[in-house]
Amino acid sequence: MSVRPIITAPDPRLKAVSEPVKTVDDEIRRLIDDMMDSMYAADGIGLAAIQIGVPKRILVMDIAQKDGANEPRVFINPQIVWASEETATFEEGCLSVPEIWDEVDRPARIKAEYLDRDGNKKLLEADGLLATCLQHEMDHLNGVLFIDHLSKLKRSMAIKKLTKAKKLKEAG
């Protein structure tokens, strides 16, 4: 288990569509462990494999971490099978879009199918922060960042800020 660097926008790898996991094996479980370590080290509540440069359809989350608890969750090949017409608005941020926070509207409730860490098929009904976080992370699997849900002006401002921050960091 190790902490891996998290890719930040505007890195083009974040726009890649991730590939489904064919077999849940020890290699995939090692990747999941690295993802968890990386998410916790960055003080995040969710992470998609693509965010550490691995284009596989895997997510890890721990929304309880915000309250000082640990309830790690793993979602392999997740799919939303139902979404409510009712929406909910949450202020979102992202480990791959540092220092940027904005409100995003998403379906308030969803049902998702996925495989767990052992390859067992699961169905989850979610609302609130869990539903929002799951949809946010699933967007990553399709090359979508939360800023892609913002107005053109807000997205443009966010990308300029990220590009400037990256140049300053590289200039060191």
What is the set of active-site residues?
Answer: 137
Q: What is the mean pLDDT of the chain?
A: 94
- Domain annotation covers residue 87: yes
Domain of 64: which CATH number?
3.90.45.10
- Dihedral angle sign, alpha carbons of residues 66, 142, 95, 57: positive
- Kindly indicate the confidence band of residue 6, based on its pLDDT and cuts at 50, 70 and 90: very high
- Dihedral angle sign, alpha carbons of residues 10, 88, 84, 115: positive
60, containing H or E segment: strand 58-61
Q: What is the pTM of this model?
A: 0.93
Count of other CB atoms within 10 angstroms of residue 49: 26
pLDDT (0 to 100) of residue 125: 98
Calculate the CA 45 to chain-centre distance.
9
Task: Give the pLDDT confidence of 19-42 residue by residue, as tens digits.
Answer: 999 999 999 999 999 999 999 999
Q: Which domain holds residue 93?
A: 12-171
Helices (H), the chain: 26-41, 128-141, 152-171
What are the distances in angstroms from CA 137 to CA 4, 49, 125, 164? 17, 9, 16, 25
Number of separate domains in the chain: 1
- Domain annotation covers residue 66: yes
Task: Give the pLDDT confidence of 65-116 residue by residue, as tens digits.
Answer: 767 778 999 999 999 999 999 999 999 999 999 989 999 999 999 999 999 9
- Domain annotation covers residue 1: no
The larger pLDDT score, comparing residue 169 to residue 53, is at 53
Task: Give the pLDDT confidence of 120-129 residue by residue, as tens digits.
Answer: 999 999 999 9
Helices and strands of the chain, counted as H and E runs = 3, 7
pLDDT (0 to 100) of residue 165: 80
- Domain annotation covers residue 2: no
- Domain annotation covers residue 6: no
Query: Residue 124 and residue 9: Cα distance in Å, rounded?
Result: 30
> 115 — phi, psi (to 5°)?
-105, 145
